[in-house]
């Protein structure tokens, strides 16, 4: 019944956050889990379970890329904090619960940025939970260039060293949007680190034929991939610190 009409369960880009939360919850339930996201199933809700089941059966999307992405970004966050980051800015944060599960210092400021509906839902779902650090949630449409630049300027003025996270975001953007976002982030002197994921053009083409087809039907196409690798961002004001392959990480 959950797979009869996809649009009933996957209607907006924010719905993918519920799907990913279920995958994190499933990993957390394993005896040999690589992380423990104890809030994942709670914030995914029954809608998340329906979407995840549909994506598994119709989209042929395995869980391991999401698991490995979570592991690597967890490590990046913890390393950045040890290196003196005082603010983490999670763009298109979705239902990420890192401030509630990672060992973070109490004086760290964690800023979630996302659209109104997903932000309101997250506020409600986590009302009774206590984060490890200071958490703020800000509603901004990152596609609005003026609003985005204003937000970046305001946050940049409040931090000495910030880490930016874009988890599961760039693949849904156009080439122009990716370049614009990278340049806007690089323009803020205190935005020192950025952890992101990118796919190459060949993998993008494969994804577009499987899980991407279902996402496209729901109005959220996977659009961006590049064979340039990390060099793509070096032209836009960024210097590579580390690059890790999700496939190689999974192989370990």
Cα 64 to Cα 52, 90, 149, 165, 245: the distances in Å are: 14, 22, 34, 20, 13
| 144 vs 210, higher pLDDT | 144
Question: At 53, phi and psi to the nearest 5?
Answer: -65, -40
From 35-49, 132-146, 230-244, the region with the lowest mean pLDDT:
35-49
Q: What percent of the chain has pLDDT over 90?
A: 63
From 44-53, 75-84, 86-95, the region with the lowest mean pLDDT:
44-53
| pLDDT at 79 exceeding the cut of 90 | yes
pLDDT band per the 50, 70, 90 thresholds, residue 6: very low
Which pTM was predicted?
0.88
| pLDDT at 214 exceeding the cut of 80 | no
Tell me which residue has tokens 């949630």.
137
Mean pLDDT on 139-145: 96
Mean pLDDT on 164-169: 95
Report for 4-8, 76-80, 196-200, 215-219: range of highest mean pLDDT: 76-80
Q: Mean pLDDT, the chain, as a whole number?
A: 87
Residue from 175, 200, 197, 192 nearest 237 by CA: 192
Distance in angstroms (rounded) separating the CA atoms of residues 247 and 64: 9
88 near 165, Cβ under 8 Å? yes
Q: Dihedral (C-alpha) 143, 146, 148, 153: value to the nearest 10 degrees?
A: 170
Tell me which residue has tokens 């199933």.
41
Residue 2: per-residue pLDDT = 29
Model pLDDT for residues 171-213, shown as the tens digit of each residue: 889 999 999 999 999 999 999 999 999 988 888 777 777 666 6
Model pLDDT for residues 88-131, shown as the tens digit of each residue: 999 999 999 999 999 999 999 999 999 999 999 999 999 999 99
SS3 state at 115 = coil
Residue 119: per-residue pLDDT = 96
Q: What's domain 64-251's architecture?
A: 3-Layer(aba) Sandwich (3.40)
Q: Which residues contact 173 (CB under 8 A, 6 or more apart)?
A: 181, 223, 224
Beta strands in the chain, from DSSP E residues, in sequence order: 87-91, 109-114, 134-139, 162-166, 191-196
Side-by-side strand order, sheet with 109-114: 134-139, 109-114, 87-91, 162-166, 191-196
Domain range summary for the chain, segments of one domain joined by +:
6-59, 64-251
| 172 vs 9, higher pLDDT | 172
Question: At 148, phi and psi to the nearest 5?
Answer: -65, -45
| pLDDT at 220 exceeding the cut of 90 | no
Residue 12 DSSP class: S
């Amino acid at each position: 019944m959950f797979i009869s009409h996809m649009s009933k369960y996957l209607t907006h880009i924010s719905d993918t956050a519920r799907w990913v939360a279920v995958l994190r919850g499933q990993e957390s339930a394993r005896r040999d889990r690589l992380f423990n996201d104890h809030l994942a199933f709670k914030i995914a809700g029954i809608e998340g379970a329906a979407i995840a089941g549909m994506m598994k059966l119709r989209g042929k999307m395995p869980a391991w890329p999401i698991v490995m992405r979570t592991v690597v970004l967890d490590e990046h966050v913890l390393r950045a904090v040890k290196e003196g980051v005082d603010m983490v800015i999670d763009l298109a944060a979705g239902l990420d619960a890192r401030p509630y599960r990672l060992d973070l210092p109490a004086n760290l400021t964690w800023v979630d940025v996302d659209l109104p509906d997903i932000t309101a839902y997250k506020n409600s779902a986590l009302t009774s939970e206590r984060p490890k650090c200071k958490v703020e949630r800000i509603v901004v449409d990152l596609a609005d260039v003026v609003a985005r630049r204003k937000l970046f300027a305001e946050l940049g003025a409040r931090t000495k060293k910030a880490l930016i996270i874009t988890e599961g975001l760039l693949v849904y953007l156009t080439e122009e949007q990716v370049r614009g976002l990278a340049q806007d982030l690089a323009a803020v002197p205190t935005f020192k680190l950025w952890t992101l994921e990118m796919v190459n053009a060949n993998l993008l083409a494969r994804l577009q034929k499987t899980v991407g087809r279902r996402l496209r039907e729901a109005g959220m196409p996977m659009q961006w991939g590049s064979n340039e690798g990390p060099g793509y961002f070096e032209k836009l004001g960024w210097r590579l610190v580390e690059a890790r392959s999700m496939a190689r990480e999974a192989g370990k």
